[in-house]
Structure 1
Amino acid sequence: MEPAAPESSRLDPSDLGHVVETTLAEATRRGASGAEAAAALSQGLSVNVRMGELETVEHTRDRSLIITVYFEQRTGSASTSDYSPASVKDTVQAACRIAEYTEADPCNGLADPDRLAMDFPNLDLFHPWNPSVDDARDMALECEQTAIDHDRRIENSEGASVSSHEGHEVYATTGGFWGEIRKTRHGLSCSVIGRDDSGMQRDYWFSSSRQAAQLDKPDVVGLEAARRTVRRLDARKIDTCKVPVIFEAPVASSLISHFVGAISGGALYRKASFLLDQVGQRVFPDFVQIYEQPLLKCAMGSAAYDSEGVTTSADNVVTNGVLQRYLLGSYSARRLGLETTGNAGGIHNLTAESGDQDLANLIGGLEKGLLVTELIGFGVNMVTGDYSRGAAGFWIENGQIQYPVEEVTVAGNLKEIFSGLCAIGKDVDTRRNIRCGSILIDGLTVAGD
């Protein structure tokens, strides 16, 4: 399932290093005290079908160059998709001109040299696939048809899609860092619509991996999309109540993402976070362990260095419920008087350690409660922690799912939600950069009729 692509279709990254070298040399020639440049090439194929017909075929081939220059404490950035010598010079000149008009900031500058990555382990991120359009179409058609055939109530489709993308990036600085990354990402998805006397419902499923061979089979994805759609039919509204709420694994990661946002440098130095000054304080119950695993092989968030070239390492973020550190790049760390944590550009396989219960066990332990399988909107105030989002899912009584629920709002405060976390299931979703199982929260307001 992973044949080598013909040479004519492969990316040609040979000029990336030369482009970066030329860019940095031009910045130095123009008097910059420091500079960083990132040149990237990417290509991909996306094939979409709907109701048994080929709908769209999209080939992409993109390139970019981003240059940031420093004139002591002033900085400017510019970008281009043209690698010609004239365009590179113009782009560097544009960045230098921008720097002339920016305010001096003592926190500006390249990452400290002693924090730069020196070792570059093979993280197994590059697995080119190169399916033909016909092969991708056939996979998508099988996926969609499996979903439609599953139940007569599946009467329409939003389509199925097969995608394959690969990229190559070179990042370097005048401070001596040089790094190259090659990675791939492949995907298969399906979304269908069901109808009964109560109306229509839709749901979807997808599989994503660095390796095409590790994708779920088309019939597996289609069947899960259909199953999730059919189970939502005949949904009801419920009265407003305060009950335990289970966030199914695919949506539970959104709770962790709010936590990530609250402990990220930008929110902290702007004092726009509900978790200010919380390092060393208990944020979750004592069984909660959250950590980064940047060097996992073949994982979605793996990287040997962050977007500034700072080395990454496996490290605890929450230990026994206590916040151990923030997530900082060099600039935000300087603003806060701290050290970078290697998180410029984001997190790396942030993992909420799971317990020994699967989703069925979590459901079985509730006398009454709500299982949330979809969240709608973004009613989250990151300054106060107030949380209110539309939701759909299933009502639970006596440890069993009773019926589907729609048009409800789940509300609370994130500080209380985090402290009220009762369990993290072992049904870990590894398709994203946040790796988390289903989460049980003890007591949220569910607003219905």
Structure 2
Amino acid sequence: MSELASHDIPRSRQDLDRLAELADDVIRRARAAGASQAEVSASVDTGLSVNVRLGEVETVERTRDRGFGLTVYFGQRKGSASTADLQPDSIQATLDQACAIARYTEEDPAAGLADADRMARDFPDLDLWHPWDIDTAGAIALGEQIETAGRAHAGITNSDGAGVQVGESLSVYANSHGFLGRERGTRHSLSLSLIAGQGDSMQRDYWYDSRRVPTELIDARALGDKAAERTLSRVGARSVSTRECPVLFAPEIARGLVGHLVGAVSGGALYRRASFLLDHAGKAIMPAWMHIAERPHLKRGQASGNFDAEGVATADNTLVDAGVLARYVLGSYSARKLGLASTGNAGGIHNLIVQSGADDGEASNFAGMLRRLGTGLLVTEVMGQGVNAITGDYSRGAAGFWVENGAIAFPVEEITIAANLRDMFNGIVAVGTDVDPRSHILTGSILVGRMTVAGE
């Protein structure tokens, strides 16, 4: 058993107990120093990372990172400080710094802890803790197997390497309402990047998998095959002439579109009036068949949690209902700035599920989505940061495949796709059932009826 795997369930609970005791003690000391409110976040993250390239070990890294953050409130004056050292002297210095900052900052009417009656009370097991019983030698051997499987394909000429990552995270959040929440989770991943072709015709692509449970990871051979298949499929890529056409976003790219939606309806963008969806709650922003729901209590979910970053209880909630924006995404500070209530999203969203609009499974799997696309562009990669959150203008470099009559015709590169996110959201034709499970945004491919594709 590896050093990491020996960090078993009883040991993890002992570490959480120590973090909880530290948090409780610091909050008590902050109150004694004059703070009217205080909150603490403390964490310990451990990991093993191995990278193998061309049959040789490139890197082996073991990590054990500690974090401690403290925020104190003197009335509505706020001070925050943090440290990566959990020794008593460093903790005391952090407390002193936070209090000093709070005493000299301006009052902010929205400052303060989340409301006490919103604190989580129930903490069901979400099945997030699955340590991986693999040592360094085993991780290296697995990386070699992945790379060997990928390089065995004819046409693969080089490798950027295979990676094996093992991760465990323990964290505590506590505040002066008397709330104390503990979380522990594991996250493990495998990856491979390959190169095909020679000279100017070289193409690079990759594949990866990420899971809470190591036994659910794709096996080495399948990962190698998938990375090689994707890389080889790009050989011979060319541009296309500028045109308007339907665009199908592959699932791993489609979740980015949903991410732009989340960013636009999040509190920080809204109270700064820096969102193209300002004042859109209760308005239609997508087709009437579309539904997007938040499910924070999914077992083994990538972003499951019983409480948010302020201790507010999480709950199933709807974001888009029959195409209508049902709510914003708020923590307590942004909610107060907007005159609203927290939605339990301090720190981010929890497991968004984008529902497919199709009743027929054959019509909404990936092959079915290609048939719905007909003739147009399948996007498998986007590049650049060309998204204006204020206006909604969207313009990004892209690569993928040109599709004719529902079948892939040839690979495409060196193009730009452009539209406005308002029009893109309203112009969604279909959502596939080919859901990518590697993210907290669970969506299949998304077909947008019309975008500008700029090429030759």
- The equivalent residue for 2:449 is 442
- The equivalent residue for 1:154 is 156
- The equivalent residue for 1:6 is 6
Q: State the shift of 1:205 in Å.
A: 0.5
Determine if contact 1:2/1:128 at 8 Å carries over to the other structure.
Answer: no
CA deviations 1:303-332 (Å, max 9, x no partner) are 000000000011110010000000000000
Q: State the shift of 1:115 in Å.
A: 0.7
Q: What is the percentage of aligned positions where both structures have the same residue? A: 50
Distance 1:375 1:68 in 2: 38
Q: State the shift of 1:17 in Å.
A: 1.5
Spell out the pairing of 1:54-203 with structure 2 (5 A cutoff). 54-151=57-154, 153-195=155-197, 199-203=201-205
Distance 1:284 1:324 in 2: 12
CA deviations 1:194-228 (Å, max 9, x no partner) are 01586111111011100001100011111101000
Distance 1:7 1:230 in 2: 41
- The equivalent residue for 1:397 is 404
Distance 1:42 1:399 in 2: 46
Q: State the shift of 1:148 in Å.
A: 0.6
Aligned partner letter, 1:65: F
Distance 2:8 2:263 in 1: 42
Pick the aligned partner of 1:25 from 7, 18, 28. 28
Distance 1:30 1:24 in 2: 10
Determine if contact 1:26/1:89 at 8 Å carries over to the other structure.
Answer: no
Q: State the shift of 1:258 in Å.
A: 0.2
Secondary structure class of the residue paired with 1:205: strand
Determine if contact 2:77/2:108 at 8 Å carries over to the other structure.
Answer: yes
Range with bigger deviation, 9-18 or 207-216:
9-18
Distance 1:302 1:311 in 2: 12
Secondary structure class of the residue paired with 2:170: strand
Determine if contact 1:3/1:129 at 8 Å carries over to the other structure.
Answer: no
- The equivalent residue for 2:290 is 288
Distance 2:87 2:58 in 1: 36
Aligned partner letter, 2:41: A
Spell out the pairing of 1:44-443 with structure 2 (5 A cutoff). 44-151=47-154, 153-195=155-197, 199-354=201-356, 355=358, 356=361, 357-443=364-450
TM-score, scaled to structure 2:
0.96
CA deviations 1:88-112 (Å, max 9, x no partner) are 1110110011112221111000010
Determine if contact 1:196/1:234 at 8 Å carries over to the other structure.
Answer: no
Ranges in structure 1 where 5+ consecutive residues have no aligned partner: none
Secondary structure class of the residue paired with 1:206: strand
Secondary structure class of the residue paired with 1:285: coil
TM-score, scaled to structure 1:
0.97
Number of matched pairs: 448
In angstroms, what is the RMSD of aligned CA positions?
1.6
Aligned in 2, Cα 1:87/1:3: closer, same or farther, shift over 3 Å?
closer
Ranges in structure 2 where 5+ consecutive residues have no aligned partner: none
Runs of 4+ in 1 over 2 A off after TM superposition: 1-12
Q: State the shift of 1:3 in Å.
A: 11
CA deviations 1:329-374 (Å, max 9, x no partner) are 0000000000000000000001111233011111123332000000
